[in-house]
């Protein structure tokens, strides 16, 4: 059992500060794990979680890895459980830099609108509150919410760099004289990045490993699965040795990390196979019925991902329908989904005297 703010010491200058799982009914917010590291004289903090209690734990972690005379705060993505204490950079008393993904700035400015968009896709598919009410509840319990500080900039304001780790190549940004590498992944949500600490071998996956199927409206399943495979290869090559993430309260080492990542990829294929069985040969699918049966399949497979609950399962179901190539026929609540017609339309009737007269004439107006 772990408690909010517990520390896992990785080495004498690196700790993982543990968050907590979401419990909406008890009004308990989701809080992401935070990686705190010292690279030379620079305090490196990857995300900041949310709540005042967790902020206190971050101060303790910063003291544990010291001494430092400058600070670097890196936001992996814009979800509330990762950004609530970002203004901590203003209180550290040293020169500080803070970077966020440009594609996530809008949701950091207006988290309620982002969550309405995500929840709106599942209106009528499960016995859930109205999208706006549910979004307000998520934002309300994630307080105080201070996602920006005086020095906040986007990663994209820096030149994009080619980064080689082992035999793999990424694009992203390098900090702290090469000790910190921010790699673009963009699977869990539009702007997501992962972080590699080269001097201690830690690869922080943040939320790219949250489950076999991304739930958010801006999730990209191909990118999730690609980054999981790439990170597994880094561990097989020993270019990374310790795996951390945003919601697993553990540090995985070497072969254990590879097994975990391969397991997520196996779960992804198992979920899509289950979705195909549920869809069968139907040309039109009622999403509410599919969502109910999909939830049963997720439970039977035991692969609900981080913070398993009915809301995220329904969001996964909608994304799974898209992965199967289906599309909603209208914007109506619980409107049927179907596959696009793939056969060629029947040719138009020939006009009298319009028969072919040779290749040259066929090209003439």
DSSP-based three-state secondary structure for 183: strand
Percent of the chain, pLDDT > 90?
85
What long-range pairs does 37-40 form, CB within 8 A, spacing at least 24?
37/13, 37/65, 37/180, 37/197, 37/200, 37/202, 38/13, 38/14, 38/65, 38/66, 38/68, 39/72, 39/176, 39/177, 39/179, 39/180, 39/197, 39/199, 40/176, 40/177, 40/179
Q: What is the pLDDT of residues 2-32, one digit of tens each?
A: 999 999 999 999 999 999 999 988 999 999 9
73, HSE (Cβ side, Cα atoms, 13 Å): 30
Query: Alpha helix locations (H) across 193-309?
Result: 221-236, 254-279, 287-301
Q: What is the pLDDT of residues 146-200, one digit of tens each?
A: 999 999 999 999 999 999 999 999 999 999 999 999 999 999 999 999 999 999 9
pLDDT level of residue 353 (50, 70, 90 thresholds): low
- Residue 351's pLDDT is 72
Give the residue among 7, 144, 3, 143 at the shortest CA–CA distance from 63. Answer: 7
| For the ranges 14-18, 208-212, 332-336, the one whose mean pLDDT is highest | 14-18
- Residue 266's pLDDT is 97
pTM of the model: 0.93
What is the rounded CA–CA span in Å between residue 284 and residue 16?
A: 47
Which residues have CB under 8 Å from 286's CB, separation 6+?
334, 336
């Amino acid at each position: 059992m772990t408690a909010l703010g517990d520390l896992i010491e990785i080495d004498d200058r690196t700790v993982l500060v543990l968050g907590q799982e979401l419990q909406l009914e008890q009004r308990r917010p989701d809080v992401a794990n935070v990686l705190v590291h010292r690279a030379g004289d620079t305090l490196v903090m990857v995300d900041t979680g949310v709540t005042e209690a967790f902020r206190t734990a971050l101060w303790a972690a910063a003291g544990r890895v010291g001494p430092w005379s400058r600070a670097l705060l890196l936001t992996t993505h814009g979800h509330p459980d990762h950004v609530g204490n970002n203004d901590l950079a203003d209180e550290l008393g040293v020169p500080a830099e803070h970077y966020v993904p440009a594609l996530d700035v809008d949701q950091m400015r207006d988290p309620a609108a982002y969550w309405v968009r995500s929840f709106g896709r599942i209106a009528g598919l499960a016995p859930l509150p109205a999208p706006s009410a549910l979004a307000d509840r998520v934002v309300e319990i994630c307080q105080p919410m201070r996602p920006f500080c005086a020095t906040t900039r986007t990663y994209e304001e820096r030149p994009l760099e080619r980064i080689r780790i082992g035999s793999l190549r990424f694009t992203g940004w390098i900090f702290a004289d090469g000790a910190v590498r921010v790699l673009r992944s963009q699977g869990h949500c539009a702007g997501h990045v992962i972080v590699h600490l080269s001097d201690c071998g830690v690869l922080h996956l943040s939320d790219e490993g949250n489950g076999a199927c991304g739930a958010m409206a801006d999730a990209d399943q191909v990118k999730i699965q690609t980054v999981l495979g790439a990170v597994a290869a880094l561990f097989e090559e020993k270019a990374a040795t310790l795996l951390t993430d945003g919601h697993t309260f553990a540090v995985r080492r070497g072969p254990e990390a590879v097994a975990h990542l391969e397991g997520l990829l196996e779960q992804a294929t198992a979920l899509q196979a289950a979705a195909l069985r549920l869809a069968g040969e139907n040309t039109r699918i009622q999403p509410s019925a599919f969502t109910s049966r999909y939830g049963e399949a997720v439970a039977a497979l035991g692969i609900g991902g981080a913070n398993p609950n009915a809301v995220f399962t329904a969001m996964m179901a909608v994304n799974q329908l898209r992965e199967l190539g289906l599309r909603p026929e209208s914007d109506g609540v619980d409107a049927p989904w179907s596959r696009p017609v793939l056969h060629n339309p029947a040719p138009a009737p020939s006009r009298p005297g319009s028969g072919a007269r040779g290749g040259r004439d066929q090209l003439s107006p």
